Amino acid sequence: MIYYEDFVCKALGLPAIPKKEWDGTKSFKVGVGVIEMADGRECYGVVTFDSEKDEKPRVTKVFTLEQFVGIKQIFVVPEYMDEDVEHMDLDDESKDAAKRLLEEAKELENEGVETNNELPKNEYFFDNVTNDEEAAAFIKDYNKRNRIKGRVPTGHDALVMRLSVIYSEINNKRKK
């Protein structure tokens, strides 16, 4: 029995463990490995392999605290929307179809998206906020008005990042 199949599938957004076994040489971004644990059990985990950087496949995520000792098998997760159609193992007719599908997908991604993504010139995103103390007060008030529980960030970068999220939320509400 191999443990944690459902955890791996959920983490990678897969319906099931892939069937294609790794050839032992080609690089892959994501794979599902059968990991051998120190106590002899086997479990599924997430693995990767870059032939330019790695000597052997690396385990990037396991769903147990026990120590693992090796990888028994690797199943490569295919990259479905690989945009380099010329290097796909397809005939010319299928390559043309894949190119058309990619173009349609890009059109659908951009459909209904406004290109006016202008950010305000103020580093703090809001005209009435000019320093870290005002930013902290603004965030505290925003959290209170919107019933958001959580602490107010203390560092400058964290304050600015939280203000950018608030700015984005307010603009999204205005568009609706």
Position with higher pLDDT, 92 vs 127: 127
Domain ranges for the chain? 2-76, 117-171
Q: What is the mean pLDDT of residues 32-54?
A: 92
pLDDT of residue 45: 95
- Residues of the chain with pLDDT > 70, as a percent, come to 86
Q: What is the mean pLDDT of residues 93-108?
A: 75
Residue that has been written with the tokens 């939320």 in this structure: 169
Q: How far is CA 16 from the centre of its chain?
A: 19
Is residue 176's pLDDT more than 80? no
Confidence of residue 59 (pLDDT cuts 50, 70, 90): very high
- On average, the pLDDT of the chain sits at 84
Maximum CA extent, the chain: 62
pLDDT digits (tens, 9 = 90+) for 112-170: 555 555 677 888 888 889 999 999 999 999 999 888 888 899 899 999 999 989 988 88
Alpha carbon distance 102, 52 (integer Å): 28
Is residue 109's pLDDT more than 90? no
Confidence of residue 82 (pLDDT cuts 50, 70, 90): low
